[in-house]
Structure 1
Amino acid sequence: MLTTQSIVTFAEYLDNAAKSNTCYELVQGNLVPMTPATFLHTWIAKFLERLFDQQIMTHSYSWVTYRETVGLRIGTNTVRLPDVVVAPLSAVENLKMNSSVIQSAVPLVVETISPSLIHENYQAKLQDYQSINVQEYWIVNPLELNKVSIYKGQDNNYQLTIFEQNQPIQSQVFPELKVTPNQIFAASAQGC
């Protein structure tokens, strides 16, 4: 069994994931144990997964949505486990018997802020997702009164737009989406 002290390769990470009951991210070769999410965190992810699934079905996009279980490979020895990821079907079709780590670009990723990971979500994960050309990175922040920050890829750079309260969220990945931060948090308060 690997320890959190040794440098881990991507292949060792996949092998460890198949044998371990603990969920880890791999960050620059270091195993980072993931703690169980709060209920609020889980409700937000579930609500957004359902919302994105509706958009995918309505508009016949060739995408699939995953919540809290699928990793994204970033570079040589980093794997992130986003709260929600929208992936092209083509990226996962041939991976049925493999560990669920996507190794190609995806249109959208969502992370919900936890008090202990504020810097990680706004700095390190932002850079990681930008480096693999994630089109849109959402940061849902229940710590700052119903605030959703969306980083949209444009000319190899992210442009930030912050949506608050009843402001309609504008998504370039889902242009027909109709939701506000208040709706996201109201749904989460009801357990989705």
Structure 2
Amino acid sequence: MNLELKKQIERIKKQPNAFIILNALQNLYEEEQKERMYFYETVSENDKAEFINGKIIIHSPVMYRHSNVVSNLSFFINTFIVSRNLQAIVAVEKLMIRLTRNDYEPDICFFGKEKAKDFKADQLLFPAPDFVVEVLSKSTEKTDRTIKFNDYQSHGVKEYWIVDPENEFVEQYVLENEMYELKEKTSSGQINSFVISGFEIPVKAFFDKQLNNETMRHFYLLLEKLL
């Protein structure tokens, strides 16, 4: 139980109507679980869907610049972990993580060896990743910066990148003492992952086609060394 949750519980305990609050929360929980089961039963592999605070959210198609950033960055990460034989897993957009209350399909998520070794081929729901990247769009930015930010933090996601493809910058948050600390907010230079040791990439390679191609060649060379 993290510090913020303990504070919330203490605030409720001090209320004279604490048991009324708890009863209302229990009723809310039961109703949400019914809706969550309906979500599991009806969502298909073709849907980009999430279950957030009791509501089923169906996402609209993304812009090309959003898709391009996700595709490029996932390639860089995946190529790096293969070249280093990290035995980790990188998933893009369609893998659903199940947290205490909510279910998300992050743009990119990374599971280190310790978590990845227990995954099954037919598994549909996954635990909190070690590292998550969300690429902003107008319809998701508020959720990415608030609900998901707090949820990833409270469930121990060690590193969280928020990438803004329109304004071309990245924010890097790292979990320290159960709270996210902003380590970088930049549109230039190199960014180094805290979770994926040794992984670094020029921020401009997320967005600039020429630098992206140069970075691609660098990562292809990493793969060629394995052959």
TM range (shorter): 0.7 to 0.9
1:180 CA drift (Å): 2.1
Match of 2:19 in 1: none
Structure 1 residues 15 and 98: CA distance shift in structure 2, 3 A? farther
Match of 1:185 in 2: 207
Once the two structures are overlaid, the 10-residue window that deviates more, 112-121 or 159-168, is: 159-168
Aligned pair partner of 2:63 in 38, 42, 57: 38
Structure 1 residue runs of 4+, over 6 Å off? 188-192
Task: Give structure 2 stretches of 5+ with no counterpart.
Answer: 1-30, 217-227
In the alignment, structure 1 residue 130 sits paired with structure 2 residue 156: no
Q: Which has the higher helix share?
A: 2
Aligned mates of 1:65, 1:187 — CA distance in 2: 23
Work out which structure has the larger RCO, using CA pairs closer than 8 Å and 6 or more positions apart in sequence. Answer: 1
Aligned mates of 2:210, 2:108 — CA distance in 1: 15
RMSD (CA atoms): 2.5
Deviations 1:2-22 (A, max 9, x none): xxxx8444433221124x743
Aligned pair partner of 1:55 in 62, 71, 80: 80
Q: What pairs with 1:14-33 in structure 2 (closer than 5 Å)?
A: 14-18=40-44, 21-33=46-58
Q: Does the 8 A contact of 2:78 with 2:90 survive in 1?
A: yes
TM-score with structure 2 setting the length: 0.71
Match of 1:71 in 2: 96
Aligned mates of 2:114, 2:199 — CA distance in 1: 23
Match of 1:3 in 2: none
Larger Rg: 2
Aligned mates of 2:209, 2:156 — CA distance in 1: 30
SS in 2 for 1:14: helix
Structure 1 residues 147 and 94: CA distance shift in structure 2, 3 A? closer
Match of 1:97 in 2: 122
SS in 1 for 2:61: coil
How many residues were matched structurally?
Answer: 182
Q: What pairs with 1:82-161 in structure 2 (closer than 5 Å)?
A: 82-88=106-112, 91=115, 93-99=118-124, 101-103=125-127, 105-144=128-167, 146-161=168-183
TM-score with structure 1 setting the length: 0.83
Aligned mates of 1:187, 1:122 — CA distance in 2: 27
1:117 CA drift (Å): 2.2
Q: Does the 8 A contact of 1:113 with 1:141 survive in 2?
A: yes
Q: Percent identity?
A: 20
